[in-house]
Amino acid sequence: MNRVLNANKRLVHWFGNQSKTKQLLSPSRDNWSATKAIINNELEAIKSSGVWKSERVITSKQDSHINVEGRTEKVINFCANNYLGLSSNPEVIEAAKDALDKYGSGLSSVRFICGTQDIHKQLESKIAKFHGREDAILFPSCFDANAGLFEALLSAEDAIISDELNHASIIDGIRLSKAQRFRYKHRDMNDLEDILKNNQKARNRLIATDGVFSMDGNVAPLDKIYHLAQKYNAIVFVDECHSTGFFGRTGRGTEEFFNLTGKVDIINSTLGKALGGAAGGYTTGRKELIDLLRQRARPYLFSNSLPPAVVASASKVFDLLTQNSSLTERVERNTIAFRTEMKSFGFNILGDNHPICPVFIGDARLASTFADLMLEWHLCDWIQLSSRSQRKG
């Protein structure tokens, strides 16, 4: 009997502890209330600043003319990164459909386990050939390519010198690295040279820049950057997301624009803009760099492979671009025509004769209101207008 009573006491004690444990583990309304208040304050600050971003819903293919939810008329789309119009190209779409039938919807694996198909290797080979490089490696996005590069390549003995207006993905990628970090004033070669001079003791010096800066449409002075890299024994990294496929004489990007083809050490770019617009990014460069990234780049090692349809559509785009440069030439003509006409109407168009044509309003709230009105006027609707005040180096 005593043993039964003792067992009952132990059960009561156990269940009592379990109840206390559940109370400790259950979500606390008070704790979330504090978090909710913080979030709501942040949201209100965004709204009151006039830079709240609303998502207008497209009900058609991405194209120069699109259908938008809630509207019966088509609107002219000026804000997509679909520079070459290939997001809805019939040949690109057909290639994706064929890949779905032959290779399935996805790999359910990272690349190094069982996530590499022959089409992945073929696309990497086409990318390397297009850029005149030894090898290339695919990532889920160029954001991931930028996140994987610097940490894998550089250590605390090295120095990264970055343009102050580089894209957020470059900034975040650099933060993941243990290398010493420096920023030079936007496109200021004197400032860049001073930083290079002061860091000659670093094991490696890497200069990081966007090829084209997407907020302003201005082009990095790559010829001068390359000259300084040669002078101070540095390597050059360029993010070509807003260049690949449509900038330069044959769409080979900023280095082709400056007649420096093959001179840049590392190029990262995207498949999600001009090159079909689906998804994916890549790094291309020397074989030993790509080999290292396959072993060390965390976004590559721990992300699923790009889906076959995405790979096949991008592969078809590279086929089209290597056949001739007619699409690239058309973009250049359209850019000159649009910039010329807009300026003739008195608009302040920023940038360096690049297809990115920022219409500078000067005030974030006014820019947002102007963009909404553009949609209502259905003339050249839905231009994304931005304020410099939103930017943080």
Amino acid letter, residue 236: V
| 214 a catalytic residue | yes
Tokens 């004033």 belong to residue: 185
Helix ranges restricted to H, 26-110? 29-49, 90-103
Phi-psi bin for 36: left (phi > 0), alpha (psi -120 to 50), beta?
alpha
* SS3 call for 41: helix
| 273 a catalytic residue | yes
| Contacts for 378 with CB less than 8 Å, ≥ 6 apart | 71, 73, 75, 76
Phi-psi bin for 57: left (phi > 0), alpha (psi -120 to 50), beta?
beta
Q: Compute the distance between CA of residue 88 and CA of residue 291 in angstroms, rounded to an integer.
A: 34
**Residue of 120, 126, 131, 242 marked active site:** 242
Beta bridge partners of 285: 135
**CB–CB of 348/366 below 8 Å?**
no
| 53 a catalytic residue | no
**Residue of 120, 273, 316, 354 marked active site:** 273
**Residue of 141, 162, 169, 214 marked active site:** 214
The 8 Å CB, 24+ separation contacts for 180-186 are 180/156, 183/393, 186/213
Reported as type and span, the H/E element at residue 137 is: strand 135-139
Which sequence positions are flagged as catalytic? 214, 242, 273
